[in-house]
């Protein structure tokens, strides 16, 4: 519930209320789901808030629970739609999931699982493919719907599949499903053509059950990879080198359930840094891990946003108008592609001309047309966006095209004269917990737009 708003936030993490209509038994009359977010420029932001657990860690940790029978506990779990989808997927395998507190999630994994991930669930969230490796490890077989393309392009899973084949898995793709089977998984050397986050995670999880040693060369180095390795090691696995380009997994040992707190969400952290950059002010982000955002903070420094590490989090201040710079997205430790829409929103209001090169996804500028509707001066040429900063944008009705673009449009609205309404907020609800309430707690003029 948005504590300061007039209507409740979409409670996507509670499917029982989120999917029922207002007025049905047990659902209050005012529970009409909001259809948009309304933003007005409200002056500088001040205050502090708590950063939640990283979506992109929690989803993989939930997938990894299927590796062992018993009761797992995950803390600092964000109440977002993607977590709901992952818990539904686990339940479809036979697991039971429940929250015992606002952010403490328990997963009970039975002795036998049904290793079948249906298209209905996988098509809601690409990260569902993360169950392929652990299901193979635990059951020796898995049938997982192909995730298909999404908002940033075709997004193949060829690297996941060829790496699993190297570990001895028979893979067949037919009728929209990956059918994978391995009587015995065998440790091998796997060299990735690109440090894919998802492929690294699937191999790591499958390799925990492989005989002997698996070495992943050119592995992804994101903090969420190191978090997954820490989780697996706590379960009893032996995963070495996570966070570096070479990860070694000595497989085959017994695994047991654990209690774990995931790393904080660096992308959520970036949303509030962008918000203060655009609106001005001074904020504290408790629980944030600035060490995970080093390259971003260097760039933000060039753009006139000051950040520093403080005990238990980070501090940020925007004393002047933003200044343009050049940005290139790269796998970690580079500036993450997920920050890109936020940075383009900031550059739209910065002094000078910014240049943004997107290196990770082929088609991640779809939202730019929405920023242009708000008066931004942006030209996209292939993988580059040339952004000529304006003193102000002008508020307009716009549509979120994906999770991060949606958040970027909301923060852009803080620097737009008049009123901006962001529609298609189901994208935002997939990955950003309490965005409206958190921005409001910093003094932003933001509210849910009620459904009719
Ligand atoms: N790729 C292939 N073949 C593969 C795998 C990846 O060609 O088998 C390509 C992709 O098409 C893309 C690039 O490699 O061009 C990088 O993809 P990667 O596998 O690293 O990304 P992912 O695992 O699908 C995760 C995050 C994304 C984040 C990327 C990059 C999750 C659930 N998703 O995706 O986060 O942008 O890594 O860091 O962890 C988000 O949270 O909004 C989001 C999109």
Three state DSSP letters for 146-163 = CCCCECCECCCCHHHHHH
Whose structure tokens read 């992804």?
220
Cα-based angle 93, 97, 103 (whole degrees, multiple of 5): 140
Bridge partners for 109 per DSSP? 70
The two three-digit tokens of residue 408, written as one number: 């970027």
Neighbours of 409 (CB within 10 A): 32
Percent of the chain surpassing pLDDT 70 = 93
Q: What is the pLDDT of residue 32?
A: 72
CA of 442 to the centre of ligand 1 (A): 32
Q: Kind and range of the H or E element at 80?
A: none
Average pLDDT on 231-238 reads 98
Q: Which atom of ligand 1 is nearest to the CA of 336?
A: 38
CA distance 450 to 452: 6
Q: What is the pLDDT of residue 358?
A: 97
Q: Is the pLDDT of residue 82 over 70?
A: yes
Q: What is the pLDDT of residue 69?
A: 98
Whose structure tokens read 């695994």?
255
Q: Which atom of ligand 1 is nearest to the CA of 153?
A: 11
Q: DSSP of 7-25, one letter per residue?
A: SPPP-TT-HHHHSSPTTST
Average pLDDT on 283-302 reads 98
Q: What is the pLDDT of residue 396?
A: 98
Q: Which atom of ligand 1 is nearest to the CA of 220?
A: 20
CA distance 213 to 207: 8
Q: How confident is the model at residue 162 (pLDDT cuts 50, 70, 90)?
A: very high
- Known catalytic membership, residue 150: yes
- Identify how many contiguous H helices and E strands the chain contains and give both numbers: 15, 26
Distance of CA 279 to the CA centre of its chain: 24
The two three-digit tokens of residue 441, written as one number: 């707690």
Q: What is the pLDDT of residue 7?
A: 42
Work out the mean pLDDT of the chain and round it to a whole number: 93
| Among 132, 94, 109, 124, CA closest to 15 | 124
Residue 323 DSSP one-character state:
B
Average pLDDT on 189-205 reads 98
Q: What is the pLDDT of residue 388?
A: 98
Q: Is the pLDDT of residue 14 over 80?
A: no
Pick the catalytic residue from 2, 150, 158, 424. 150
Question: Cis peptide before 333, with omega less than 30 degrees from 0?
Answer: yes
CA distance 427 to 367: 12
Q: Is the pLDDT of residue 150 over 90?
A: no
Whose structure tokens read 């939640």?
52
HSE toward the beta carbon, residue 420, CA cutoff 13 A: 33
Give the model confidence (pLDDT) of 33-45 as tens digits.
Answer: 899 999 999 999 9
Q: DSSP of 349-384, one letter per residue?
A: TSBSEEEEE--S-TT--TTHHHHHHTT-EEEEETTE
Give the model confidence (pLDDT) of 272-289 as tens digits.
Answer: 999 999 999 999 999 999
Average pLDDT on 419-429 reads 96
HSE toward the beta carbon, residue 31, CA cutoff 13 A: 18
CA distance 183 to 157: 22
| 220 Rama sector, left if φ>0, alpha if ψ -120 to 50, beta otherwise | beta
The phi and psi torsions of 422 (rounded to 5 degrees) equal -100, 120
CA distance 36 to 199: 34
Q: Which atom of ligand 1 is nearest to the CA of 156?
A: 3
Q: Is the pLDDT of residue 411 over 50?
A: yes
What is the end-to-end Cα distance of the chain in Å, rounded? 19
Q: What is the pLDDT of residue 154?
A: 80
Percent of the chain surpassing pLDDT 90 = 89
Whose structure tokens read 């200044």?
323
CA of 199 to the centre of ligand 1 (A): 9
CA distance 45 to 285: 12
Q: Which atom of ligand 1 is nearest to the CA of 55?
A: 41
Average pLDDT on 234-239 reads 98
Residue 450 DSSP one-character state:
P
Ligand 1 pocket test: pick from 131, 152, 158, 194 the residue with the most ligand atoms within 8 Å of its Cβ: 194
Q: What is the pLDDT of residue 152?
A: 81
The two three-digit tokens of residue 329, written as one number: 């997205």
Q: What is the pLDDT of residue 191?
A: 98
CA of 197 to the centre of ligand 1 (A): 6
Average pLDDT on 394-411 reads 97
CB 445 within 8 A of CB 42: yes
CA of 207 to the centre of ligand 1 (A): 20
Bridge partners for 397 per DSSP? 421
Q: How confident is the model at residue 31 (pLDDT cuts 50, 70, 90)?
A: low
Ligand 1 pocket test: pick from 158, 292, 360, 364 the residue with the most ligand atoms within 8 Å of its Cβ: 360
Q: Where are the alpha helices (DSSP H) in 208-356?
A: 223-235, 266-279, 294-302, 340-348
| Among 375, 378, 377, 374, CA closest to 358 | 378
CB 252 within 8 A of CB 211: yes
3-class DSSP assignment, residue 400: coil
- Please give the model's pTM, rounded to 2 decimal places: 0.94
**Residue nearest to ligand 1 atom 16, measured at CA:** 196
Ligand 1 pocket, Cβ-based, cut-off 6 angstroms: 56, 59, 127, 155-160, 194, 196-199, 220, 336-338, 360-361, 403-404, 431
**Residue nearest to ligand 1 atom 9, measured at CA:** 155
Residues 54, 57, 60, 65, Cα dihedral to 10°? -90
Q: Kind and range of the H or E element at 93?
A: helix 81-93
Q: What is the pLDDT of residue 25?
A: 34
**Residue nearest to ligand 1 atom 22, measured at CA:** 198
Average pLDDT on 258-282 reads 98
């Amino acid at each position: 519930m948005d504590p300061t708003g007039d209507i409740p936030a979409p409670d996507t993490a509670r499917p029982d209320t989120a999917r029922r209509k207002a007025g049905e038994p047990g659902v209050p009359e005012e529970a009409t789901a909001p259809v948009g977010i309304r933003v007005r420029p409200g002056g500088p932001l001040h205050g502090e808030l708590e950063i939640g657990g990283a979506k992109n860690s929690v989803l993989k940790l939930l997938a990894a629970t299927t590796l062992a029978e018993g009761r797992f506990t995950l803390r600092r779990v964000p109440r977002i739609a993607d977590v709901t989808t992952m818990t539904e997927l686990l339940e479809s395998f036979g697991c039971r999931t429940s929250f015992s507190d606002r952010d403490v999630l328990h997963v009970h994994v039975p002795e036998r699982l049904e290793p079948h991930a249906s298209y209905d669930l996988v098509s809601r969230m690409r990260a569902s493919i993360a169950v392929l490796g652990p299901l193979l490890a635990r059951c020796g077989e898995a049938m997982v719907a192909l995730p298909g393309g999404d908002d940033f392009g075709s997004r193949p899973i060829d690297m996941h599949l060829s790496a699993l084949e190297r570990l001895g898995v028979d893979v067949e793709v037919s009728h929209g499903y990956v059918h994978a089977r391995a009587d015995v998984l065998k440790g091998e050397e796997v060299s990735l053509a690109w440090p894919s986050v998802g492929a690294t995670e699937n191999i790591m999880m499958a390799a925990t059950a492989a005989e002997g040693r698996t070495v992943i060369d050119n592995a992804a180095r994101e903090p969420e990879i190191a978090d997954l390795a820490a989780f697996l090691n706590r379960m009893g696995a032996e995963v070495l080198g996570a966070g570096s380009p070479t990860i070694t997994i000595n497989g085959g040992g017994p695994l047991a359930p654990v209690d774990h707190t995931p790393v904080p969400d660096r992308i959520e952290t970036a949303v509030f840094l962008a918000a203060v950059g655009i609106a001005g002010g001074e904020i504290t982000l408790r629980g944030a891990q600035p060490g995970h955002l080093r390259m971003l903070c260097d760039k933000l420094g060039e753009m006139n946003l000051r950040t520093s590490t403080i005990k238990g989090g980070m501090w940020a201040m925007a004393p002047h108008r933003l200044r343009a710079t050049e940005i290139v997205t790269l796998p970690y430790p580079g500036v993450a592609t997920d920050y890109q829409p936020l940075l383009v929103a900031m550059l739209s209001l910065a002094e000078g001309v910014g240049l943004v090169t997107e290196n990770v996804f082929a088609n991640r500028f779809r939202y730019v047309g929405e920023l242009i509707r708000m008066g931004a001066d942006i030209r996209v040429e292939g993988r580059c966006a040339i952004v000529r900063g304006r003193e102000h944008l002008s508020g307009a009705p716009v549509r979120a095209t994906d999770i991060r673009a949606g958040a970027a449009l909301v923060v852009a609205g803080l620097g737009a004269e008049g009123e901006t309404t962001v529609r298609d907020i189901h994208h935002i609800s997939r990955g950003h917990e309490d965005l409206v309430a958190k921005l409001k707690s910093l003094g932003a003029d933001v509210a849910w737009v009620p459904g009719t």
